[in-house]
Every structure is written in structure tokens, then in C-alpha cells.
């Protein structure tokens, strides 16, 4: 009657981590918005870093920025700022270029 299945137990455990990640994302987003709102209106850029580490981008997404951040084989890094939001995204173009170089294609 009061027993829980192992899958229910696993879901509950994973739910704690998921909840923690969600709360961290909300807190970082709030911190970025507060940072911008505390900046004088004429100096607001709506992109930058929270705590000098986590990038944020609240400007309207553009195709050029999406290409630059998601498909840029010439970039130095595999991971970079998101096209929109808080955190990082994977530069798939760089990953493909690295895989081709490794395979000699």
C-alpha cells in the first residue's frame, strides 16, 4: 500500500537535481535583469556576464548571431554564449570541423 516503485524513487531523486538547476537558471536570469535595470537606461546593453562568469543575451536574436554562436567552425571555442538567454551553447560548426580534422576528411 505505501510502497513506491524503484522508477518512482529514481524520478524523485532526479527531480531534486532538476529543481536545483531550474532554480539556478531562474536566479541567474533574475540577476542579469537586475544588473541591466540598475544600469542607467542609456548605458544598458542587455548582454554581458553575471558574476563575471555566466554570459547572458537578452537582445532580439538575429540570424547572424545564431550562425556566429551555433555554426562557426573558425571560432576558438566549442562552447560560447547562447543566442538568447543565460548560459552557454554548443558551437556545432566547431565540433564538426574538429571531427573532420581528427578523421582527416
- Measured CA to CA, the distance from residue 68 to residue 73 in angstroms comes to 9
* pTM for the whole structure: 0.79
Supply the range of the domain harboring residue 11.
Answer: 6-103
Segment 61-102, tens digit of pLDDT: 999 999 999 999 999 999 999 999 999 999 999 999 999 999
Virtual CA dihedral for 45, 49, 55, 60, nearest 10 degrees? Answer: -10
Dihedral sign for Cα atoms in the order 37, 82, 27, 22:
positive
Contact 82, 55 (CB under 8 A): yes
Question: CB within 8 A of 90, min separation 6: which ones?
Answer: 70, 78, 79
pLDDT band at 12 (very low <50, low <70, confident <90, very high): low
Domain count, the chain: 1
Segment 28-53, tens digit of pLDDT: 999 999 999 999 999 999 999 999 99
- Residue 1 lies inside a defined structural domain of this protein: no
Question: CB within 8 A of 56, min separation 6: which ones?
Answer: 28, 29, 32, 47, 48, 49, 50, 81, 85, 86, 87
- Residue 72 lies inside a defined structural domain of this protein: yes
Q: Which residues pair with 49 in a beta bridge?
A: 55
- Residue 32 lies inside a defined structural domain of this protein: yes
Dihedral sign for Cα atoms in the order 73, 75, 77, 82:
negative
Amino acid at each position: 500500500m505505501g510502497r513506491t516503485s524503484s522508477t518512482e524513487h529514481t524520478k524523485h531523486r532526479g527531480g531534486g537535481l532538476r529543481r536545483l538547476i531550474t532554480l539556478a537558471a531562474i536566479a541567474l536570469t533574475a540577476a542579469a535583469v537586475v544588473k541591466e535595470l540598475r544600469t542607467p537606461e542609456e548605458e544598458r546593453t542587455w548582454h554581458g556576464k553575471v558574476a563575471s562568469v555566466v554570459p547572458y543575451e537578452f537582445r532580439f536574436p538575429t540570424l547572424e548571431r545564431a550562425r556566429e554562436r551555433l555554426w562557426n567552425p573558425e571560432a576558438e571555442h566549442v562552447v560560447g554564449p547562447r543566442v538568447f538567454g543565460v548560459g552557454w551553447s554548443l558551437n556545432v560548426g566547431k565540433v564538426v570541423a574538429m571531427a573532420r580534422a581528427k578523421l582527416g576528411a
